[in-house]
Homo-oligomer: A and B are copies of this chain.
Amino acid sequence: MLAAFSIAPVGAGESVSSEVAEVVRLVRESGLANETNAMFTNVEGEWDEVMALLKTCTEKVAERSGRVSLVVKIDYRRGVTGALRSKVEAVERHLRAGA
């Protein structure tokens, strides 16, 4: 499955990039396929792998901030892998075909 998630401390100042960096470090060390953009970090893996990672990340941010906000969007398809890349490629193919 694919998960896009965004974790932010509540009430820790307007700049949250150091907390986000700690989360991204944990994601990259996880071994799961991942990609960080300006709004979300996308990861691909099995349910238990992805959720264990989200728990680790949330608890990491909660060490410094008593309150944490987490937004997650999941695209769950059994037996599909490589979707982090293939979904974008499918859209690009459609766009080229329609040109």
Residues of A bordering B, CB below 8 Å:
2-4, 6, 8, 10-18, 20-21, 24-25, 35-40, 42, 47, 51, 55, 58, 62, 65-78, 83-85, 87-88, 90-91, 94-95, 98
Contacts and interface: CB of A to CB of B under 8 A. Distances in A.
Contact of A75 (B21, B67, B78): B67
Contact of A25 (B21, B24, B77, B98): B98
Top 4 A-B pairs ranked by shortest CB distance? A21-B94, A4-B39, A11-B14, A70-B74
Nearest to A47: B55
Instruction: Decide if the interface of chain A is mainly helix, strand, loop or mixed.
Output: mixed
Contacts of A47: 55, 58
A35 B35 contact: no
Nearest to A16: B10
Given A62-B78, A70-B74, A72-B74, A18 B88 contact: no
